[in-house]
Every structure is written in structure tokens, then in C-alpha cells.
Amino acid sequence: MDKIIIRGGNRLAGTIPISGAKNAALTLIPCALLTEEPLTLRNLPRLADIDGFQHLMTQFGVSVSIAGGRPDDFGRVITLQATRLTGTTAPYDLVRKMRASILVLGPLLARAGEATVSLPGGCAIGNRPIDLHLKVLEALGATIELAQGYVRAMAPDGGLSGGDFDFPVVSVGATENALMAAVLANGTSRLTNAAREPEIVDLCNLLVAMGAEIEGIGSSDLTIHGVKRLNGATYKCMADRIEAGSYACAAAITGGAVHLDGAEAADMAATIHALRNAGVHVETGKNGIFIDANGPLRAVNISTAPYPGFATDMQAQLMALLCRAEGTSVLTETIFENRYMHVPELNRMGAHIETSGRTAIVHGVTKMTGAEVMATDLRASMSLVIAGLAAEGETMVHRLYHLDRGYARLEEKLALVGADIERVGE
């Protein structure tokens, strides 16, 4: 198994290309199940999770072809075609490592009238039940059974009827599954208190390009008029706002000046606001975002929240940055109850962080030192890399399979802007 070695202290300067969004891509890919025609997706990130989802799609008879690209091309173009579905079961062996696998449930149910999907895996960051996925599909007319670690969903003869559902709490994944199920339902569906993350908007825009009829895109109230069939499309995946925010923190902790090429400021308002409050200069433009951290970092208080609030997926990275800020910061994690597993590892590097329940108190320190650290989940992994870039000496980050799930060519991109970083075998 590989590890990353970082020799900290280099100021980052230059341009980092931002890849397509992992969380959007994993929602766009299963849309291929909704049509017999080809679906071509552009700007997909080169990630282990994307590869895994492609392999999962082949289980249902979907053909997958990947366009060739230049070695310096950070995006991929993939064409998927589900001319005829040959299966409707997503087995445990393929989905146990990837929570996004549950997103085949809605489109399989809509197109084939049935789906059997293993309960998902993914990062161990706390309780992430799929009860809302199942309840909203039941509201659309499905019958759900749980047995031996699998979800089995059945539509009545003639297909889903459509229906209304008011989410008791905001759920991104359940909103996505509901959208993909509702677009082929026989009637009209109304989703209230739906998630409105940019990735949801990206999914809606693709579905509309395929012929779906959706009202209220970008709001928490969505109305979907079911159609008889969807067509194929060619669509560009949105830029990854979490990757962009992560590299912004990496640049800032080193006092760097970095252009995040392709980042969409409109999708990152809460992250940009937090960075500015922390003393980081942020300029936004049509070609990306410029980060310039030429002054002292300041402490900030942040609570995670559903979009447009501060993303839980940015909490660990901001925490790493605030380890070097002047004063004491308070972070409150409202989404997941077990998302501070990076704290002991950051403290091993000289940080001074205390946790109590869902609150973390970060006392800024004047320096951090390199250490051997263990990645516990995807975003925690990146927080350790960020800390290592500013730490004195050498940092070794183990368990890179977490990082490879969410950051395409991480060491290459950081090396582009002056980081002393390399991947080596254990």
C-alpha cells in the first residue's frame, strides 16, 4: 500500500486545475440507467470511486467507453449506454466500499420496475441511514423490503405513480434518488425541503437535458412531471467545490498565492466567506478563484450546515488551516456525529485541539511538526496533507485509498505549485 511523504515549509504558488466534482459525477453516472440512448459525460475526475461506479454499471448491462486523453488532461470523457438492462442487482462485493452505490436504486426502479441493492459502505464518519431514500421511494409508489443486508424495491405494474414527500431533514442522497425515480413516474411528484446543493442542480440540469420536466431547480421545493421516456445527452460535470476549497486551505496555510483554475465561486460562497474571515484574500473571476494568504491567519467560528451553509465536507480541511491561526476557533459539526477522527492525528503533529461531542476547539499554534499519521476517511486525509504542507520536517500519510477516492492526482497538482510531496510504496 502506498503512502505520501510531505516535506513541509514550501510556499505554494502557481495554478492548480480543478477537476470535475466527485459528488456530482457519482450522481450523473447512474442517469444512464434511465435511457436506452448513449449518455456522454465530460470532465469526470480520475478517481477510484468513479472507476468503481463504472464497474457497478456494467453489472446491469451498461456498456462503458472512455475517450482517450492527453497525459496532462485532468478530466475524462465517458460514454455509457444501457440499451437493455441485463440485471437489477447491485452486489455487496461491489458496493461495500462506496456509499454512492445506493444511487442506482431510484433509476433502476424507474426503468426496470425493480432493484436489489446492497446496503452501502463508504467513509466511517458516523451514522448515515438510508431511511429517507426508502421513505421517499415509497411515497412515489414503490414497495420496499430489507433482508440479509439488501434493499429490494418493487414498482407496481405499470410503473411508479409519483407522489409528494416532505423531507423531515435535508438529505442530498435521498433527494437525488427521488429525482431519478420521479422523472419516469406516471404522475407528478413534489419534493419539499429537498436538498439544494450545487450537485443537485447539476443532476437536475442533466435530467432536463435528457428530456425530464423539473420545476424549482435550485430551490428546496421541486416539482417533477413524469415523462414516458428520456433521451441521451452530452453533459459536462461541474467543477469540484470541495477539491477547490481543499486546495484553497492548502495554499493559505503555506502563505501561498494560488489560482484555482476552473473553480466556481458561486458554488463556494460559504467556504469563501470562512476563508476571508480567517484573513485569506480571495478574488473570484470567470476562470476560477485566486487565493493569496500574505498576512496572519485569524481564528473563526464555524458550524456545518446543509447548502448554502458551510459544507461538512470542508470541516476537516478548515480545521487544519485554523491550527495555524492566531487565537481560538470553535467548529461545530451538525451533520455527522463522528467526524473528528482526524483530531488525534493533527494533535500528533503539534496542533492543540479539544473536542466535546460535536464541538471542536482549535487553539492556534505557532508551528507544527511532521509525523507519521493515519488517514481515517476521505476529508480527514486531506486535512493531514494540508497540515503536513506547513509542518516542519517530514510527514507520512498512510492509508491513501481514502484520498484516492476523492482527490484526482493530488500529489501531481500540489507539486505543480511547489509542494515537496511524493507517493512511495510502503
Q: Residues within the annotated binding site for phosphoenolpyruvate?
A: 22-23
Indicate which residue of 123, 237, 249, 323 is catalytic. Answer: 123
Residue 426's alpha-carbon distances to 2, 54, 350, 385, 412, in angstroms, are 5, 28, 24, 17, 19
Distance of CA 221 to the CA centre of its chain: 22
Binding site feature residues: 22-23, 99, 128-132, 313, 335
Give DSSP secondary structure letters for 245-260. HHHHHHHHHTT-EEEE
Q: What are the binding residues for UDP-N-acetyl-alpha-D-glucosamine?
A: 99, 128-132, 313, 335
Q: Could you confirm whether 123 is annotated as catalytic?
A: yes
Calculate the CA dihedral of residues 89, 91, 97, 99 and round it to 10 degrees. 30
Coil, strand, or helix at residue 129? coil
Q: Could you give the CA distance from residue 143 to residue 52 in angstroms, rounded to a whole number?
A: 28
Looking up cell 442506482, which residue turns up? 104
Look-up: residue for cell 498565492?
A: 257
Q: What is the DSSP string of 366-412?
A: S--B--EEE--SHHHHHHHHHHHHHSBSEEEEE-THHHHTT-TTHHH
Residues known to be catalytic: 123
